[in-house]
Amino acid sequence: MFQVLDKFRQPIFVLIAGSILLALAFGIRHSFGIFLIPISEKNQWGREVFAMGLAFQNLMWGIWQPFTGRISDKIGAGVVVCVGSILYCLGLFLMGFLTTKTGFIIASGILGIGISGVTFPIFGAISRSVTPEKRSVSIGIAMSSASLGQFIMLPASLVLLQSFGPTLAFGILSLLTLIMLVLAVPMFEKPIQQTSTQDLSLKEVLTEAFGHKGFWLLCFGFFVCGFHILFIMTHAPAFLIDKGYHHK
């Protein structure tokens, strides 16, 4: 069994599995805007409930990212990806089937925690699997796959929405995310050699980061990026429909 697992730990398998994982994770997440009107109308909510849910989801993603990243650095990304996949699946399912405002927002938060486990820790696993001279190319391929996933999953989610309605569409997407559990196999890394950085506690790591100017500049940059992308992703489809554009 361990020999089979070792074969899947080869860099090429880590890169392929990681790229597909990122394509699914980012692709599904970026399709949520088309569900704003159907979910709001189905549950007789104002659009602010759905928007608040996705905003909370993004915040939970950011809050939990240091923890999932740190765990991945300590024990490898495999366990983190598996737990993240399960939470991703659960959050999607509950977002489609819960009919209370509070329940929807909590489900969105669960999904946000799941996203933190199936996105950036994968980049760490890919980086550790390849030699330094191949690291930039490998990360570039993985990030390109994430963008390709957004291009593919948005129209695919639209087909599901038009064919089955919002509740069942979310259910089908949640089942699709279970593929991530299989793709997590190459992420179970060999015991990671401890370094001086890994010997630090999470508190010490965060304290050092918070005292670094570059860390805050990076955070503010990602905040601006995430805010405007999430805003457009959530509201652009509904805005276009309000202005008379309808998909045929």
Query: What CATH number corresponds to the domain at position 220?
Result: 1.20.1250.20
Mean pLDDT of the chain: 88
Residue with tokens 């300590």: 74
77-97 vs 132-176: helix crossing angle, rounded to 10 = 30
Domain presence at residue 221? yes
Residue 157 lies in a domain: yes
Query: Between vectors from CA 12 to CA 10 and to CA 15, what angle results, nearest 5°?
Result: 110
State how far the Cα of 8 lies from the Cα of 173, in Å rounded to an integer: 26
Cα–Cα distance, 117 to 82 (Å, whole number): 8
Residue 102 and residue 166 in contact, taking contact as beta carbons nearer than 8 Å: no
Task: Judge whether residue 2 has pLDDT over 60.
Answer: no
Q: What's the rounded Cα separation, in Å, for the pair 100 and 125?
A: 38
Interior CA angle at 213 toward 209 and 216, to 5°? 70
Q: Residue 198: pLDDT band by 50, 70, 90 thresholds?
A: low
User: How confident is residue 1, by pLDDT bands cut at 50, 70 and 90?
Assistant: very low
What residues make up the domain containing 71? 2-242
Task: Please give the pLDDT value at position 113.
Answer: 96
Residue 247 domain-assigned?
no
Q: Where are the beta strands (DSSP E) in the chain?
A: none
The SS3 assignment for 119 reads: coil
**Residue 83 domain-assigned?**
yes
Whether 115 is covered by a domain: the verdict is yes
199 has a pLDDT exceeding 70: no
Residue 248 in any domain: the answer is no
- Residue 185 and residue 153: Cα distance in Å, rounded? 23
pTM above 0.85, yes or no: yes
Average pLDDT for 105-131:
94
Three-class DSSP category at 130: coil
* Residue pLDDT, tens place only, 222-236: 888 778 888 888 888
Residues 6+ apart with CB under 8 A from 51: 36, 234, 235
Q: How many domains does the chain have?
A: 1
Which residue shows structure tokens 């390849």? 130
Interval 71-101: pLDDT, tens = 888 888 999 999 999 999 999 999 999 999 9
The residue whose two tokens read 């997590």 is 184
Residue 48 domain flag: yes
Tell me, yes or no, whether 71 lies in a domain: yes
